[in-house]
């Protein structure tokens, strides 16, 4: 008998038929003797419908009211799922974020969870009830509705699992686990039975959109075993946990890629202390998030500075950078929105040399030019021309033998 937090995403509860199917699934788990806390998202399409309404009223809806609006999406799902459970004879009770109460800071649409009052949930569990909690939402100290931002339901589930000291947090989604890479690109891609928090974090932030990074981070911080499973198929999914001592780690666990970035270069910048700040400060002031940053070694007291931003922000960042270039007396600003980032991820890298050279060799063999390189302890990312994406991912998948267990 375990205490399990399960989260069902928007596709899993996209219709009343699917909600009934989720209820049956929950009742099955319940019959195995588990205590269950269920976190749900809005029915797929609902959040977009609500945002559409807001945009008909205002191009920049007031943040406080935006949260009041979109939080209704999850509220509809908790009510319907609780009804479905009770229709099948399973005692259940729904809670909005405010009712739980999930206390957050007051940053609307990007709130962070501060504290969870788990007393009502514990009472329900003791009474044999399944509790159904609205993901993605909370309240601030003054009782204003807040939301955690898109994908925040994962974070709600993990935070609840941490607060309740649950045995496992299961994220049900439309894929049956975490793969070595996107199977649409590499048909031989293999589902991983296990992956570490750190690796998952790299995979998530690098573009494998199965789990929200913050949820993985949170799970790692509170050591909540996290499992990604399919809502529609049976299976063990992928368990995300800490590296176990003595566990033989593969060198590379997976290959992530991201098509959403664009590259900008400011060339011929005087190579002085503080120049990086003078370039990136104005970018940050415009709320443009920067991902990879590379500064080449200077020549003749001049240097080149390259970074990537989200492709949607490319034009805006370019304008800012042109102003900066004039201020600094830089030679020129160039850019390219048609790039992709490809990364190999694996905790095994720590103890194995030659991974990076293996990656570069493999890309060179395919004639793929590397435009930028960035590394961390457990990942190596390269930026390449977007037309080579599939070729690169397939070559690396084969090179590191990821199709094999």
Nearer to a copy of itself, 117 or 398 (CB): 117
Nearer to a copy of itself, 91 or 284 (CB): 91
H/E run at residue 380: strand 379-385
Distance of closest approach, residue 150 Cβ to a copy of itself, in angstroms: 18
Nearer to a copy of itself, 77 or 241 (CB): 77
SS3 382: strand
Distance of closest approach, residue 82 Cβ to a copy of itself, in angstroms: 4
Residues at the interface with a copy of itself (CB under 8 A): 16-17, 19-20, 50, 53-54, 56-58, 61-62, 64-66, 68-69, 71-72, 75-76, 78-80, 82-84, 86-87, 93-94, 96, 98-99, 143-145
Distance CA 163, CA 133 (A): 14
Distance CA 342, CA 140 (A): 39
Nearer to a copy of itself, 56 or 405 (CB): 56
* Residues 133 and 95 sit within 8 Å (Cβ to Cβ): yes
Distance of closest approach, residue 336 Cβ to a copy of itself, in angstroms: 38
Structure tokens at 308: 């990537």
- Chain centroid to Cα 17, Å, comes to 28
Distance of closest approach, residue 94 Cβ to a copy of itself, in angstroms: 5
**Cβ-based burial of 367 (10 A; exposed 0-12, middle 13-18, buried ≥19):** exposed
Distance of closest approach, residue 299 Cβ to a copy of itself, in angstroms: 53
Nearer to a copy of itself, 96 or 313 (CB): 96
With CA atoms as reference, report the closest residue to 379 among 199, 197, 217, 179: 199
Nearer to a copy of itself, 123 or 323 (CB): 123
- How many residues are given for the chain? 405
What phi, psi does 42 have (nearest 5°)? -70, 150
CB atoms within 10 A of CB 79: 14
Distance of closest approach, residue 122 Cβ to a copy of itself, in angstroms: 15
CB atoms within 10 A of CB 297: 7
């Amino acid at each position: 008998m375990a205490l399990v937090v399960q989260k069902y995403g928007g596709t899993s509860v996209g219709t009343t038929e699917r909600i009934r199917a989720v209820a049956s699934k929950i009742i099955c788990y319940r019959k195995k003797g588990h205590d269950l806390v269920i976190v749900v998202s809005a029915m797929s399409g609902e959040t977009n419908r609500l945002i559409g309404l807001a945009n008909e009223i205002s191009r920049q809806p007031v943040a406080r009211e935006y949260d009041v609006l979109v939080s209704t999406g999850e509220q509809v799902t908790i009510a319907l799922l609780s009804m479905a459970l009770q229709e099948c004879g399973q005692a259940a009770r729904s809670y909005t974020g405010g009712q739980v109460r999930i206390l957050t800071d007051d940053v609307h649409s990007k709130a962070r969870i501060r504290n969870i009052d788990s007393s009502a949930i514990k009472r329900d569990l003791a009474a044999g009830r399944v509790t159904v909690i609205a993901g993605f939402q909370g309240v601030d100290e003054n009782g204003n509705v807040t939301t955690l931002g898109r994908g925040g339901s994962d974070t709600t589930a993990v935070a609840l699992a941490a607060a309740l000291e649950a045995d496992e947090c299961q994220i049900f989604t439309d894929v049956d686990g975490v793969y070595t890479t996107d199977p649409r690109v590499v048909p031989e891609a293999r589902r991983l039975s296990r992956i570490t928090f750190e690796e998952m974090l790299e995979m998530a932030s690098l573009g494998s959109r199965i789990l929200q990074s913050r949820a993985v981070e949170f799970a790692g911080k509170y050591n909540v075993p996290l499992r990604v499973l399919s809502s529609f198929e049976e299976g063990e999914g992928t368990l995300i946990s800490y590296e176990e001592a003595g566990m033989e780690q593969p060198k590379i666990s997976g290959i992530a890629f991201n098509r959403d970035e664009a590259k900008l270069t400011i060339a011929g910048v005087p190579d002085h202390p503080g120049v990086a700040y003078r370039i990136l400060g104005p970018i940050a002031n415009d709320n443009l998030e920067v991902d990879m940053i590379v500064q080449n070694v200077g020549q003749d007291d001049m240097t080149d500075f390259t970074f990537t931003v989200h492709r949607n922000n490319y034009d805006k960042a370019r304008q800012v950078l042109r102003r900066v270039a004039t201020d600094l007396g830089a030679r020129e600003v160039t850019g390219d929105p048609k790039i992709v980032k490809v990364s190999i991820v694996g905790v095994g890298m720590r103890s194995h040399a030659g991974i990076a050279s293996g990656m570069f060799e493999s890309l060179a063999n395919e004639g793929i030019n590397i435009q930028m390189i960035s590394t961390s302890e457990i990942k190596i990312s390269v930026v390449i021309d977007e037309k080579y994406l599939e070729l690169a991912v397939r070559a690396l998948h084969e090179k590191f033998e990821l199709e094999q267990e």
